[in-house]
Chains A and B, each alone.
Chain A
Amino acid sequence: GQNIDQPTEMTATEGAIVQINCTYQTSGFNGLFWYQQHAGEAPTFLSYNVLDGLEEKGRFSSFLSRSKGYSYLLLKELQMKDSASYLCAVSDSNYQLIWGAGTKLIIKP
């Protein structure tokens, strides 16, 4: 079966760095997405990786290793507004998105 695993919850301190991991097993691979979802709101797009390596976008970076079925989202200089759930999703061989359950990130002052 197809599976996306990510930690349920993480806690970090304002100003620090946090890494949210995502491992996947899917039938085919057409890219990996990270979305941010604040409580009670819709998911919004953060990043897309289809080739191995690191993609940097401001305070957020996303890494992909296709051979390991692994990605991480790196958040630097954490701010209170970064408190949210972070969703990992993989596009499979049929271009259907398979979603992880999300990682709830709690930022403490």
Chain B
Amino acid sequence: SYVLTQPPSVSVAPGQTARITCGGNNIGSKSVHWYQQKPGQAPVLVVYDDSDRPSGIPERFSGSNSGNTATLTISRVEAGDEADYYCQVWDSSSDPGVFGGGTKLTVL
């Protein structure tokens, strides 16, 4: 089955830019989606189809995808962005719905 690899943690100071990566074999050929999950809450979609934002998601959240790496970029990081972030793809295999292991974003 397809595997997505995320760094366990990323730390950034307020106002700086956070970049969270999601690695997978030729992931650039797939659509990548990103979710934010705060403690005790359900996940929230923040980026879909590599780089589109749902309504209500700040422009500070952006995404890119090429080659073997997709990236979620959060500009001008705020304390409220501290959360776990998950990437997700759909793979045409026997185990199609795939999430990355998640990245804990810490705002210093």
- A, B assembled together: no
Q: Please give the residue numbers on chain B whose beta carbons come within 8 Å of chain A beta carbons, in ascending order.
A: none
